[in-house]
Amino acid sequence: MTAKVHLDRAHGLALLRDMMRIREFEAACAEQYQAQNIRGFLHLYDGEEAVSVGVMQALAPEDAVVATYREHGQAIARGIPMRPLMAEMFGRLSGCCRGRGGSMHVFDRTTRFYGGNAIVGGGLPLAVGVALADRMQGRANVTACFFGEGAADEGAFHESLNLASLWHLPVLFVCENNGYSMGTPVEVAEADTEIWHKAAGYRMHGERVDGMDVVAVEVAARRAAERIRAGEGPVLLECATYRFRAHSMFDAQLYRDKAEIEQWRERGPILRFRAWLEQAGLLHEGEAATMEAEIRAEVADAVAFAEAAPLEEMADLDRFVTMDEVPA
């Protein structure tokens, strides 16, 4: 199948803005974590923005998304507003999960964003279940499932791809291959370092794309979504990318040197796409600076909203523990 992307000025600027919004939000999260306003674990998405932004272009509002524990960028790309997202990071009642999900378990019913998952590969079988539920209820939707290359070593990866293929389920499996899992180089962990090759074992279409190129990701994701919507079964899309920050805020990064990180930063998705837009005459002088100022103001507003948001009352902490009461 041949997917087409109409990359006019409006679409190009929208892609750039979405990636910049993710980057600025993540930078604020790092600051707030150091200020101890965000607790627990924090896994940042810097460098991988082109993957979620590109893939989301291929999804309709009624489609579903199952994310990883590095899901803040995916949540923003899906359209979850920054205010409730930052409040959730702060553990506040105004968060999209009433502060109960925190960094690794963001969920939003209105956008069919079925959450991050702290278990490596834990979202894969959930995505198969969501796709099966849509099928059984007569909904012709796609479920996009994000996961890292480390999850490809989990049994749940193989079981999920197998069932999705057997049942011909509409799942777009998106592997964000940043090369290191937690801290192990992919060439040490994988006999075949190209994850998309594993699709062949399940008679599933697979392909690999440059995950630092937002347009390439969008084209590949649209092509994959078209195959799925045409009834050709699930697709495995591997996006070769790189994270600029540590695996988590507790990671000393002893497995890679600073020179390697800087080399990847030079080909970062935002820098690369912004330069292309300028060369193509689609980004005019001064527009990027204006965009940056607007985004910083949006992020600052989200932080202020989170800081002012209340904590849940102690008396309510046992609510929603059972299915007797489910939030609206």
Q: What is the pLDDT of residue 319?
A: 84
CB-based contacts of 294, cutoff 8 Å, min separation 6: none
Q: Helices 49-56 and 9-34, interaxial angle, to 10°?
A: 130
Instruction: Collapse the DSSP code of 152 into the 3-class scheme (helix H, G, I; strand E, B; otherwise coil) and give the result.
Output: helix
Q: What is the pLDDT of residue 322?
A: 74
Distance of CA 118 to the CA centre of its chain: 14
Give the model's confidence band at 4: pLDDT under 50 very low, under 70 low, under 90 confident, else very high: low
Q: In the chain, how many domains are there?
A: 1
**Within-domain flag for 327:** no
User: Rounded to whole angstroms, how far apart are CA atoms 28 and 34?
Assistant: 10
**Within-domain flag for 253:** yes
**Within-domain flag for 251:** yes
Q: What is the pLDDT of residue 144?
A: 98
Taking the whole predicted model, whether its pTM rises above 0.75 is answered as yes
**Within-domain flag for 316:** no
Residue 61 CB-density burial (10 A; 0-12 exposed, 13-18 middle, 19+ buried): exposed
Mean pLDDT of 28-47: 93
- What is the domain range of residue 251? 9-309
Q: What is the pLDDT of residue 250?
A: 80
Q: What is the pLDDT of residue 324?
A: 64
> 198-208 pLDDT, tens per residue?
999 999 999 99
Q: What is the pLDDT of residue 325?
A: 63
Mean pLDDT of 180-201: 91
Has residue 323 got a pLDDT over 70? Answer: no
**Within-domain flag for 105:** yes
User: Rounded to whole angstroms, how far apart are CA atoms 103 and 118?
Assistant: 9
**Within-domain flag for 325:** no
Mean pLDDT of 171-196: 92
Residue 149 CB-density burial (10 A; 0-12 exposed, 13-18 middle, 19+ buried): buried
**Within-domain flag for 216:** yes
Place of tokens 């012709």: 140
**Within-domain flag for 78:** yes
Give the model's confidence band at 254: pLDDT under 50 very low, under 70 low, under 90 confident, else very high: confident
Give the model's confidence band at 3: pLDDT under 50 very low, under 70 low, under 90 confident, else very high: low
Mean per-residue pLDDT of the chain: 93
CATH code, 185? 3.40.50.970
